[in-house]
Chains A and B, each alone.
Chain A
Amino acid sequence: MSQQDAAADRLLSLTLKAGAYIAFGLIAAGLLLQTITNRGAKLAAAGLLVLLATPMLRIIVACIQFFRERDLKYAMVSLGVLGIVVLAYVLGIQT
């Protein structure tokens, strides 16, 4: 494993962790608020939306890393995956 790859792994892992903890925090806060005041469903929903966004974010981070490593082949592969996921988003959520 090259040093560049190791650094890329660290950044990607950080992205995943941030996504996981932010989503978890929002959902936990939402659930807690719900038991006390009967509100908080919106906060929980926001947490779920963060969760839905992390997969897209991890592809974008990987893609940027591949470009920085001048690994064009895998940068293109990442862009391809991103294209399909965005298409699903457009077909799914927007319609």
Chain B
Amino acid sequence: MTFALVLLLIFIGFFAGGLGALVGVGGGIIVTPLLAIYFGLPMHQAIGVSLMCVIATSTATSSLYVEKHITDIRLGMTLELATTVGALIAALIAHHINRKTLAILFACFLLYSAGSMVKKAWESRKEKKEEAISDYAPQNYPIGFAASLVAGGFSGLLGIGGGPIKVPVMFLFMKVPLRVAAATSNFMIGVTAATSAYVYWGHGDVRVDVAAPLVAGVFAGSLLGARVSRKVRPFYILVLLVGVTGWLAVQMIYKLLTGGFQ
């Protein structure tokens, strides 16, 4: 691996980790497709490497959110019972799924994420004053468990964190404040991603030469992102992320249609 390539990977990690921490996504939705489309990595390797980036984002940002008592450890731990089961099953299955199917699933998830971020951006136009977290008691655990199982499954299958699935469910159905839901999801994705990462590592799909520079960049980016996140208006970052994920989805579909991902 050339020096220039290492620098490029560090930069991509920094970009993905920083953006991820600023708006609360794991960065996996950027890293997996970038590696698969532009670096020619097989889907399974792209996913394995991306899982490492998700763990890095989770570890870096959670250290700050837990310190500020925003993360609900009890809620996170409870839902992890479901995300880890989903992740383990998915990781074991993923090895037997062909690259093309994984790529199709990923393209669908990219479009879904882009859509959910358009909605989020629209709502964040008029940013409200930061409110103190009011008292709450999580409700509707069965729905939370179901969503967590699905989120864990997608995480193990596609190398993402699964935040776009869990956070809305925690917020809307479990009646958890949005900030708490985002911080708790951030805490959970590290454990979820590690569960499937063990399986990918065992299959030799976590390439150290690709993962090391990316993870270094992700650490730096997400620590910086989490620190300045309260000072930055999320609107422009969300617009940027919608652009990036939309572009990656189009590229992925194009590559699929022209016979890629074999």
Contacts and interface: CB of A to CB of B under 8 A. Distances in A.
Q: Is B one of A's binding partners?
A: yes
Interface of A: 1, 5-6, 8-10, 12-13, 16-17, 19-20, 23-24, 27-28, 30-31, 34-35, 41, 44-45, 47-48, 51-52, 54-56, 58-59, 62, 74, 77-78, 80-81, 84-85, 87-89, 91-95
Contacts, number: 152
Nearest to A80: B81
Residue with the highest number of chain A CB atoms closer than 10 Å, among B58, B64, B202: B202
Contacts of B84: 81, 84-85, 88
Contacts of B208: 41, 44-45, 48
Interface of B: 3, 6, 10, 52, 55-56, 58-60, 62-64, 66-67, 69, 71, 73-74, 77-78, 80-81, 84-85, 87-88, 91-92, 187, 190-191, 193-203, 206, 208-209, 211-213, 215-216, 219-220, 223
- Tell me the interface secondary structure of chain A in the complex: helix
Given A1-B69, A58-B191, A51 B200 contact: no
Nearest to B196: A88
A95 B216 CA distance: 28
Contact of A77 (B56, B81, B190, B209): B81
Contacts of B194: 52, 54-56, 85, 88
